[in-house]
Structure 1
Amino acid sequence: MSGLAEAVETVLRYRRPDPDCWDAVVDAVCTEHPSYDAERVLVQAGTAITRHTDRIAVDLRRQQGAFGTAVGHGVKVRALALAGAGDLRALPALHRLAEHGGLPYMRPQARVMAGLPPAALAAVMRTKLRRDSDDYHGNTTTLEVLALCGPAAAPAVDDVAGRLGTQFTYDAMRVLGRIGPAAAVTADRLTAYATGRVTPAHPYRRRAAWAHWKVTGDPTLALDVCGAAVRSGTASHGLPFLADLGPLAAEHAAPVRRLMESPGAWTRTYAAHAYWRITGDPERAVPVLLAEVDPAWEGSPAVPVRQAVHHLGEIGAPAAPAAPLLRGILAREERLGQPFAGVRILADRAYARTLTDALEGING
């Protein structure tokens, strides 16, 4: 047991643990009496356990029983581990879990499934959305994962649109916008939110206007509503949408540039990204974004470090001054610190992926 405890601690603590540690974790899961701690980290493993997916798939079938219908905790752990590794053998079990309420209700764990093809994942999440008609976490988590599927979530348009006018309106709008033209049937309802005809409209107006643009291709409403937000002082709520609009939002470049000097870190980061997207000028944006990249960051969501890194990667070669700092952060041995070890690997993997992608973008 001490050997397993050490292996679990190692994979939780270090970005590049010895493969033997993951071997020990898999061994501890694929037994008659699996270790809870080993299961907790296996779900977060991603591609680190790719060489063990055949064994995990066999153990998943054992957990499901002779008829493949079981949907308990053990099935969920193994199906999520396979999904994180991008293994399609997870799908039948995930569908069964979605039908019976067995999928994760918390967002970090649910995002593990994003390793699967978007269309296949969207089908699973549509089943879950239909089942969890009223559950708060079930809806918000499912809608977030559906948004990650983008246009592949088009078959779920009616189900998602059914959340408009509920406590899930804001999340539903994000999904509809990500789906794009296939969700054009919702344009009139989005217009009603964006123009304030549906009350209470706040805080939906900007997201509704953005979603209207994405489903119709007409940016007029989004430019008006999101531009007004930037001019009115509620800047951080309009800036990400103006960034998405890019050069179409050229008339708003001046107020966006002023907001790069805001006292709020998130507003500065959003403004720098939006200014670059609108103008194509990296000279003002890069120093602002680089200033937000704290090498000692421990993952606090109150600080936009990861977002700043992502935007530097989008800018590419003009952000070359950031490369040494990003390489240094990526090279560190210990994972990003988190108050809850239950998501530590997930949080660090996401940050490491952002750092890697940013360096690839900068290096061309």
Structure 2
Amino acid sequence: MPRARLRQRKVDAAAETVLRLRRPRPAVWDTIVEAAASSGPEVYWSAQQVLIQAGRAAAPYADQLADRLDSLLRDPHDYLIGQLAFALAGIGDVRAMPGLHRLAVQGRLWRDGGHAAPALAALPAAELLPLLRRDLVAEQAAGGNAFALSVLAALGPEAAPALPEVVACLEGPYAHGAARVLGRIGPAAAPAAGRLAEFATGAGRPPGPYGPDARGVWRGVRTAAWAHSRVTGDDSLALRSYAADLASGRGSRVLPYLADFGPAAAPHTAAVRALMDSPGAWTRVAAAHAWWRITGDPEPAVPVLLAAVDPEWDGHVAYPTPLAVRHLGEIGAPAAAARPVLTRLLERETRLDYAWERHRILADDTFTRTLTEALAGIGSHIPG
């Protein structure tokens, strides 16, 4: 068999292994990085689909990846640039930035790494903001806006310098994402409070398919109300809006926001407690979390959350297992009954197998991190 074919098989096998196993031998990652850092196009595909998801696994190879990226930047058409740039971004290495700027100029930033957007938040905000702000200005109605806004939301208050561009997005098809970013920025976004209040009360709404001539309530009205409370420090508008939802049978939609308000949402504890008996698992989990955040009482919440943790969860997005795990960790020691099932899920050798390959490592790493943090919150030995 030709040497190139044998090499291709080796790289393909390594990629399959890291997609399947949580803790592959280091030599497997060695093979993937070697293929990406020094091989020809015939081995790119199988290596690139896992390299962009590598996260902390790429840290030992940062110099190799950065050197290869630097050499590829001399070729304006090399499609491996995006994979290397996102791999470096995932470990917070600023040497990713020239590659990311190249992708942005070519309009490829969100196309190459849309599913890996959270990786960018590991980079310093000062490096990212000029790139993201330029994208928001250049592509007001393009899919790149959703990508940029998702990264800005992850940056939280550090995204404040992008306020002019985010506020401008309130007047377009990505108003919902923009409102979310403004809420994450907090008080620095106070200049947008008036427009958020209009959206929250129905006095105004953004243009587009949910604009002034659309039927029904704009889909971002609850997010706008939450954002208004976060930028002004006044939660009265939001709580009035959410009270109306609870009274009209739409309480499940506002439970995450009520949880965020904590004790300030105390007038709604009876409605929240009733939703803990909902037939829907997602609603039960959200209600249990809101109950605990509002009252500080874990007793009725822990059994509901624990019941939602499937010990055989395979990554299917229809089930709220990761959210329940996160909430149990927030509750801490009173959720000690969850230790065995969380430990079992963390010790599993194989990755979540339901997730699409382009998301599998990212999804599994996020879940294992959630499990680890939950066990630390509860207080127990965490498997290595």
TM over 0.5: yes
Task: Identify the residue that residue 335 of structure 1 maps to in structure 2.
Answer: 351
Is residue 8–residue 38 contact of structure 1 (8 Å, CA) maintained in 2?
yes
Residue 110 in 1 paired to residue 117 in 2? Answer: yes
Aligned-pair CA distance for 1:119: 4.0
Task: Identify the residue that residue 61 of structure 1 maps to in structure 2.
Answer: 70
Residue 33 of structure 1 aligns with an amino acid whose one-letter code is G
SS of alignment partner, residue 121 of structure 2: helix
Is residue 71–residue 100 contact of structure 1 (8 Å, CA) maintained in 2?
no
Deviation per CA, 1:11-62, whole angstroms, max 9, x where unpaired? 0100000000000000111125142110111111111121110011000100
Output the CA distance in 2 between the equivalents of 1:47 and 1:354. 15
| Aligned mate of 2:369, from 353, 356, 359 | 353
Output the CA distance in 1 between the equivalents of 2:125 and 2:324. 26
Output the CA distance in 1 between the equivalents of 2:166 and 2:221. 18
Aligned-pair CA distance for 1:130: 2.0
Computed over aligned residues only, the root mean square deviation of the Cα atoms, in angstroms, reads 1.6
Aligned-pair CA distance for 1:175: 0.5
| Unaligned segments of structure 1, at least 5 residues | none
| Aligned mate of 2:152, from 140, 146, 149 | 146
Task: Identify the residue that residue 173 of structure 1 maps to in structure 2.
Answer: 179
Is residue 292–residue 305 contact of structure 1 (8 Å, CA) maintained in 2?
yes
Output the CA distance in 1 between the equivalents of 2:244 and 2:292. 19
| Aligned mate of 2:57, from 40, 44, 48 | 48
SS of alignment partner, residue 246 of structure 1: helix
Aligned-pair CA distance for 1:317: 1.0
The correspondence of residues 1-364 of structure 1 with structure 2, limited to 5 A, is 1-34=8-41, 35-65=44-74, 70=76, 72-105=78-111, 107-135=114-142, 137-198=143-204, 199=212, 201-363=217-379
Task: Compute the TM-score of the two structures, normalised by the length of structure 1.
Answer: 0.95
Residue 89 of structure 2 aligns with an amino acid whose one-letter code is A
Aligned-pair CA distance for 1:168: 1.1
Task: Compute the TM-score of the two structures, normalised by the length of structure 2.
Answer: 0.90
Task: Identify the residue that residue 209 of structure 2 maps to in structure 1.
Answer: none
Residue 28 of structure 1 aligns with an amino acid whose one-letter code is A
Residue 18 of structure 1 aligns with an amino acid whose one-letter code is R
Residue 57 of structure 2 aligns with an amino acid whose one-letter code is A
Is residue 71–residue 97 contact of structure 1 (8 Å, CA) maintained in 2?
no
Output the CA distance in 2 between the equivalents of 1:339 and 1:289. 23
Output the CA distance in 2 between the equivalents of 1:108 and 1:296. 25
Q: How many equivalent pairs are there?
A: 360
SS of alignment partner, residue 336 of structure 1: coil
The 1:339–1:209 alpha-carbon spacing in structure 2 relative to 1, beyond 3 Å, is: closer
Output the CA distance in 2 between the equivalents of 1:111 and 1:195. 32
Aligned-pair CA distance for 1:99: 3.2
Output the CA distance in 1 between the equivalents of 2:278 and 2:266. 20
Output the CA distance in 2 between the equivalents of 1:301 and 1:75. 31
Output the CA distance in 2 between the equivalents of 1:2 and 1:70. 29
Output the CA distance in 1 between the equivalents of 2:360 and 2:352. 7
Is residue 72–residue 102 contact of structure 1 (8 Å, CA) maintained in 2?
no
Output the CA distance in 2 between the equivalents of 1:359 and 1:339. 24
The 1:107–1:224 alpha-carbon spacing in structure 2 relative to 1, beyond 3 Å, is: farther
The 1:152–1:197 alpha-carbon spacing in structure 2 relative to 1, beyond 3 Å, is: same
Indicate the larger mover: 245-254 or 96-105.
96-105
Aligned-pair CA distance for 1:284: 0.8
Residue 37 of structure 1 aligns with an amino acid whose one-letter code is S
The 1:71–1:95 alpha-carbon spacing in structure 2 relative to 1, beyond 3 Å, is: farther
Output the CA distance in 1 between the equivalents of 2:127 and 2:236. 34
Aligned-pair CA distance for 1:302: 1.8
Identity %: 50
